[in-house]
A and B are shown apart, each in its own frame.
Chain A
Amino acid sequence: GAVVSQHPSRVICKSGTSVKIECRSLDFQATTMFWYRQFPKQSLMLMATSNEGSKATYEQGVEKDKFLINHASLTLSTLTVTSAHPEDSSFYICSARGPAGGLGQYFGPGTRLTVT
């Protein structure tokens, strides 16, 4: 099946710093990737849709200047949390639509961000 990787798996940073999370499709090209956030005991909430070669589409309530998304190639999308605050601490998960427009999405293993 399609494999999506994420890096880092876990990061702890100080308030005010920026953190970059990478999401890669390892064995297929992903023109569209999705970034989700999940707080404890909550459902996955879509933050933005990342399109290769164009600007990301952000969901309502998600600050595009705070969560910078770059989808520079067909296998890599990055999410940068700028000037992180403790309330940004969460589980960030990326996913990609499967190859050849297959059903469902394949998820990366997630990045657990803790801002102190």
Chain B
Amino acid sequence: RKEVEQDPGPFNVPEGATVAFNCTYSNSASQSFFWYRQDCRKEPKLLMSVYSSGNEDGRFTAQLNRASQYISLLIRDSKLSDSATYLCVVQLINTPLVFGKGTRLSVIA
């Protein structure tokens, strides 16, 4: 079983739509959780950290369920500029990040 599994997509949605991505992780000792965004042929950039209580940053909402080892990202009111690959990332204490394969999102006008 892969350490971090994501729905590969692609998700093709119209502008203004709400879209949700899911992710599961296998190591219950994982301590830190993130969503990164990666544009084509570019490096990943931190979108947001994910906290147990859930957190929101503008149109983006992240949720963590430790019992189910499940992480989600919700994007509301999608913009064309949201088109990218979204990477689910987990980390144990003081260890390198472990990346999922990513979910590709295309927002269409």
Contact = CB atoms under 8 A, between A and B. Distances in A.
Report whether over half of chain B's contact residues are helix, strand or loop; otherwise say mixed: strand
Contacts of B44: 44, 93, 107
Given A43-B87, A43-B102, A105 B97 contact: yes
B43 A107 contact: yes
B101 A42 contact: yes
B58 interface: no
Interface residues of A, number: 19
B41 interface: yes
Of B34, B44, B87, B100, chain A has the most CB atoms within 10 Å of the CB of B44
Contacts of A41: 101
A51 to B, nearest CB: 12
Contacts of B70: none
B43 A104 contact: no
Interface string B1-23: 00010000000000000000000
B99 A34 contact: no
Contact of A46 (B4, B42, B96): B96
Interface of B: 4, 32, 34, 41-46, 49, 87, 96-102
10 contacts: A43-B101, A44-B44, A91-B41, A103-B34, A104-B97, A105-B97, A109-B42, A109-B43, A110-B43, A112-B41
